[in-house]
A and B are shown apart, each in its own frame.
Chain A
Amino acid sequence: AQSVAQPEDQVNVAEGNPLTVKCTYSVSGNPYLFWYVQYPNRGLQFLLKYITGDNLVKGSYGFEAEFNKSQTSFHLKKPSALVSDSALYFCAVKPGANNLFFGTGTRLTVIP
C-alpha cells in the first residue's frame, strides 16, 4: 500500500535557525515527491518537487528538500527560518499517473 508519513505534527524553531520538516514514504516503484505549503484559509501552494537527478532539490521561498532513496525520505529544509514561514506543510508522493498521496501535515511555527 502507498503511504506518506510526516512523523511530527508540530515543529517549533527560532527565527534565523535552520529548520527541517520530515517526510518518509512507502510506495512501489520510483515515485515523484512534492512539498506543498498551506497558509491559513488558503489553498495549497506548490513549493518544490523531485522527479529525477540531483538529490537536493531547490524550491520557492528558499526551501530545499533532500531525496534519500535508501531511507525513503524527502525532508524539507531551510537554512534560516523566517516568521512568515509559519504554516502547515504537506509532503506528497505520486506513485502513478493518477493519485497524489498526501501526508497528514506538519505545522511549523517560527518563533520571533
Chain B
Amino acid sequence: NAGVTQTPKFRILKIGQSMTLQCTQDMNHNYMYWYRQDPGMGLKLIYYSVGAGITDKGEVPNGYNVSRSTTEDFPLRLELAAPSQTSVYFCASSVGLADRDTQYFGPGTRLTVL
C-alpha cells in the first residue's frame, strides 16, 4: 500500500489565485482529514470527512472547501489565496472516527502565498 499520498509537494501562489491540494489513500479508510501546520505550531484541523459525500468543518475552515466524491480522494480547495494560508498542509486518514483510532498522515504540501 502507498498509504496516504499528497500532491503537489510544493507550490507558490499569488494572492487571489486558487488551487486544489490533492489527497488520496489506498487503505479503504472511511475517515479523512485535512490539517495545516504553521511554523512552530501544532497541527490544526481544517476539514474532515466521515465517508463519501459527507464533510464537516474543523477548527480553522475559513478560506477552504473540500469534497469527498469517493472513499479514496479528499481534495482541499483554496479559492482566493491569502498570505495567511502560507503553511504546510497534511492530509490524514483513519479506519474509524472512534476515539482510539490512529490517523495515518501523508508527506505534506508546502504552500507559500506571496
| Residues of the A chain whose Cβ atoms lie less than 8 Å from the Cβ of B108 | 41-43
Interface size class of A (residues with CB under 8 A): 20 to 34
The stretch from B14-22, B69-77, B98-106 touching chain A is B98-106
Number of interface residues of B (CB under 8 A): 26
Tell me whether B42 and A34 are in contact (CB under 8 A).
Answer: no
Tell me whether A105 and B107 are in contact (CB under 8 A).
Answer: no
Asked whether A90 and B43 contact (CB < 8 A) given A41-B107, A43-B107, A99-B58, the answer is yes
B48 at the interface (CB under 8 A from A): yes
Give 1 or 0 for each of A37-50: 1 = CB within 8 Å of chain B CB.
Answer: 00001111110010
**Which chain B residues (41-80) contact chain A, with CB distance < 8 Å?**
41-45, 48, 56, 58-59
Which B residues lie at the A interface, using CB under 8 A? 4, 6, 33, 40-45, 48, 56, 58-59, 90, 92, 97-100, 102-108
